[in-house]
């Protein structure tokens, strides 16, 4: 379903403001994660190569799907997939994401930060029409060539592990609306991360695993959306098993 012209214009303005301010906030954000909190992704280079390859090989939409344990996962995943300098030069590769509106609307500076950081806030469990409109806007930016990031579980995992039963249909709906959409599954976890938290421990070291796929389904409607979400969660579950196997 096409989005309203005012929504298209608003997204264009948001993207351009974020891009123009990018040389300021992108390095600053990365520096804060690295030097203030001491967070470090120890094996980011392979994930960055894969992300770069997927962007080079096709102009088909690209969606990043990841596990979700902390409220700063989207920042960490962005850092895992590209350097600040790379994002400044290729702003379209910096993923859009859909944070819970309540978590990032408490102060004016949080609202400003999410605005320039390519966020389309969503009210989970809110009015269905509004949630549907948010998903349409998110699909639109991917159709325009930008990358998106979404957490298929819909929220932080309460068990600390991927929960296949938490599958929401939103991610499947987005993929289904974008013919040829590719999905890069990312499993990112701090070495000391046990369950879900607001933020990782200071000085945490993260390891990232990845796999790409192009989900398909013969089903239409919500059944098709759910089938796609389950394919993505199955891949994330396999990555999670590999992550823990490698730690033993």
Partner 1 sequence: MTEKEAFETVVKILTPHTKNPAALASAKLDTNILDDLKVNSARLVDVVLAFEDAFDIEIADEEVDSVNTIGDCVRLILAKAS
Residues that bind partner 1 (CB under 8 A): 1, 124-129, 131-133, 154, 166-169, 173, 176-177, 220-223, 225-226
The residue among 67 and 93 lying less far from partner 1, judged by its C-beta, is 67
The residue among 18 and 215 lying less far from partner 1, judged by its C-beta, is 215
Residues paired with residue 100 on neighbouring β-strands, in sequence order: 122
With tokens 């730690």, the residue in question is 247
Q: What is the largest CA-CA distance in the chain?
A: 53
The residue among 126 and 145 lying less far from partner 1, judged by its C-beta, is 126
Q: Least distance in Å: CB of 172 to partner 1?
A: 9
Strands, E assignment, 100-163: 148-150
Please give, one letter per residue, the 3-state secondary structure of 68-79: CCCCCHHHHHHH
Q: Least distance in Å: CB of 196 to partner 1?
A: 16
How far apart CA 150 and CA 170 sit, in angstroms, is 9
Asked if 48 and 40 count as a contact pair (C-beta separation under 8 A), the reply is no
Q: Least distance in Å: CB of 38 to partner 1?
A: 34
How far apart CA 78 and CA 57 sit, in angstroms, is 20
Q: Least distance in Å: CB of 219 to partner 1?
A: 9
Instruction: List the Cα angle 29/31/33 in 5-degree steps.
Output: 70
The residue among 106 and 128 lying less far from partner 1, judged by its C-beta, is 128
Give the burial class of 202: count Cβ atoms within 10 A of its Cβ; 0-12 exposed, 13-18 middle, 19 or more buried. Answer: exposed
Q: What are the strands of the beta sheet with 62-66, ordered from one edge? A: 40-41, 205-213, 182-190, 62-66, 148-150, 96-97
Q: Least distance in Å: CB of 222 to partner 1?
A: 5
Q: Least distance in Å: CB of 152 to partner 1?
A: 11
The residue among 22 and 224 lying less far from partner 1, judged by its C-beta, is 224
Q: Least distance in Å: CB of 65 to partner 1?
A: 16
The residue among 129 and 247 lying less far from partner 1, judged by its C-beta, is 129
Q: How many helices, marked H, and strands, marked E, lie in the chain?
A: 8, 6
The residue among 153 and 204 lying less far from partner 1, judged by its C-beta, is 153
The first and second tokens of residue 35, run together, are 């030097």
């Amino acid at each position: 379903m096409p989005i309203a012209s005012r929504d298209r214009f608003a997204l264009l303005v948001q993207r351009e403001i974020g891009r123009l301010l990018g040389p300021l906030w992108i390095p600053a954000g990365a520096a804060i994660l690295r030097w203030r909190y001491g967070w470090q992704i120890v094996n980011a280079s392979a994930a960055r190569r894969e992300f770069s390859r997927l962007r080079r090989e096709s102009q088909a939409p690209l969606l990043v799907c990841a596990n979700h344990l902390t409220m700063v996962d989207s920042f960490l995943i962005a850092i895992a997939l590209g350097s600040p300098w790379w994002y400044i030069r290729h702003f379209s590769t910096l993923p859009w994401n859909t944070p819970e509106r309540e978590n990032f609307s408490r102060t004016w500076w949080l609202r400003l930060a999410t605005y320039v950081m390519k966020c389309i806030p969503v009210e989970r469990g809110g009015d269905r029409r509004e949630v549907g409109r948010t998903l349409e806007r998110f699909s639109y930016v991917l159709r325009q060539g930008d990358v998106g990031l979404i957490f298929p579980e819909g929220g932080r995992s309460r068990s600390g592990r991927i929960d296949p039963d938490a599958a929401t249909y939103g991610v499947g709906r987005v993929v289904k609306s974008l013919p040829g959409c590719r999905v890069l599954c990312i499993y990112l976890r701090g070495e000391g991360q046990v369950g879900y938290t607001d933020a990782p421990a200071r000085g945490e070291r993260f390891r990232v695993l990845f796999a790409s796929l192009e989900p398909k389904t013969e089903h239409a409607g919500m059944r098709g959306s759910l089938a796609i979400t389950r394919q993505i969660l199955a891949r994330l579950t396999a990555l999670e098993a590999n992550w823990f196997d490698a730690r033993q």
